[in-house]
Amino acid sequence: MQKVTCDTLAAKACELLENGTVDRVLGWKNGEFVYDVTPALFTTTDDIKSEFVFNDFCGANFSKYLIEETRKTESKVLVFLKPCDTYSFNQLLTEHRFDREKVYAVGIPCEGMADITKVKAAAGDGITAIKAEGENLVISTLYDEDKAVACADVLAERCMVCKSKKHVAYDELLGEDGDVIDSNRFDEVEKLEAMTEDERFAFWQNELSRCIRCNACRDVCPACTCEKCVFDNPESSVANKAISDSFEEKMFHIIRAFHVAGRCTDCGECSRVCPQNIPLHLLNRKFIKDINSFYGEYQAGAEAGSRAPLVDYTTEDIEPTDAVLKGASDNA
């Protein structure tokens, strides 16, 4: 259950449109299904009143959309940012990817988003309606009676290990700001590190071999904003699009994770959109964990303008051989 209501957001959007602060609004509207909330651009108050939604399925991080939006016109666009989205927002600013002057950022609190896979597992298929009631979601389906599930039980993985309820960038805040949380988001990475090489290989072989190279993880990633992605560029020598061998997915996912290493804010969008449910965040988090342990704590996007670890160094950095040993406990 979100503390800030859809009506509050919609009213704010209408207000800013009407007083001319912005002329378009990045928000959410319903898709094919009630849980299939999709990003949308609103330009009129009528559209907002009829279509704008905000509920437990509004996971989408809008930061990346700002690159295109701010290039369109000279006027401002309104964007709603959950705490984790503000980190991506800052990171993109650091990389000069959009013009801050053309954005009006409204920070909104977030109680964590629901994972539809978990909801379906709890309530069954054929969902026709989902209503938030207190700490529960009441789910209506085609086949069964309404069922109530606790929000906490269907929380998305990334929200269970939420790293921050604090907004690191905004023009205006709706509701109250929270704090940075000392989360246990590296627990799963540590479990993998504790395995043997063979076990890890088996784990990832199983996960990555499901990849269908749909590129959804890349397309949604707010760090993957290249004008032309290396995977789309035949000149880059890595642009194979079809999957014909198990190596392809590994290469794709290693390069993708490496490209965003030190820039990934751990927003978790890659795993959210993966149609094959591959835990891609475990690759990104490995880099984040290694960066923290090798070079000191670094949270991408916490500060606009900060120097990413891979474009920085100290003369006393850890040697790669030692890094590998430090990075996995079975090497000890």
Q: Which is nearer to other proteins, 104 or 295 (CB)?
A: 295
CB 58 within 8 A of CB 132: no
In angstroms, what is the minimal distance from the CB of 136 to other proteins? 38
Q: Is 172 in the site for other proteins (CB under 8 A)?
A: no
Q: Is 287 in the site for other proteins (CB under 8 A)?
A: yes
Q: Is 323 in the site for other proteins (CB under 8 A)?
A: yes
Query: How are strands ordered across the β-sheet holding 127-133?
Result: 127-133, 136-141, 147-150
**Residue 25 corresponds to which amino acid?**
V
Number of residues binding to other proteins, judged by CB under 8 A: 69
Q: What is the DSSP letter of 38?
A: E
**Residue 287 corresponds to which amino acid?**
F
The span of 8-16, 142-150, 170-178, 309-317 binding other proteins (CB under 8 A) equals: 309-317
**What are 136's two structure tokens?**
């529960």
Residues 129-168 that bind other proteins (CB under 8 A): none
Q: How far is CA 239 from CA 19, 129, 213, in A?
A: 47, 42, 11
For 150, the enclosing helix (H) or strand (E) is strand 147-150
Q: Which residues lie across from 189 on neighbouring strands?
A: none
Q: Is 198 in the site for other proteins (CB under 8 A)?
A: yes
Query: Could you tell me which residues come within 8 angstroms of residue 243 by beta carbon, excluding any fewer than 6 positions away?
Result: 211, 212, 213, 249
Q: What is the DSSP letter of 318?
A: P
CB 45 within 8 A of CB 17: yes
Contact residue for other proteins among 150, 160, 194, 226 (CB under 8 A): 226
Q: Is 259 in the site for other proteins (CB under 8 A)?
A: yes
The span of 39-47, 104-112, 213-221, 323-331 binding other proteins (CB under 8 A) equals: 323-331
Residues 68-127 that bind other proteins (CB under 8 A): 71, 94-97
CB 266 within 8 A of CB 185: yes
The span of 116-124, 162-170, 253-261, 267-275 binding other proteins (CB under 8 A) equals: 253-261
Q: Is 219 in the site for other proteins (CB under 8 A)?
A: no
CA of residue 91 relative to chain centroid, distance: 13
Contact residue for other proteins among 4, 122, 180, 255 (CB under 8 A): 255
Contact residue for other proteins among 74, 101, 235, 297 (CB under 8 A): 235
List of residues contacting other proteins (CB under 8 A): 71, 94-97, 192-193, 197-205, 225-230, 233, 235-238, 244-245, 247-248, 250-251, 254-255, 257-261, 263, 283, 286-287, 290-291, 294-295, 307-315, 317-321, 323-328, 331
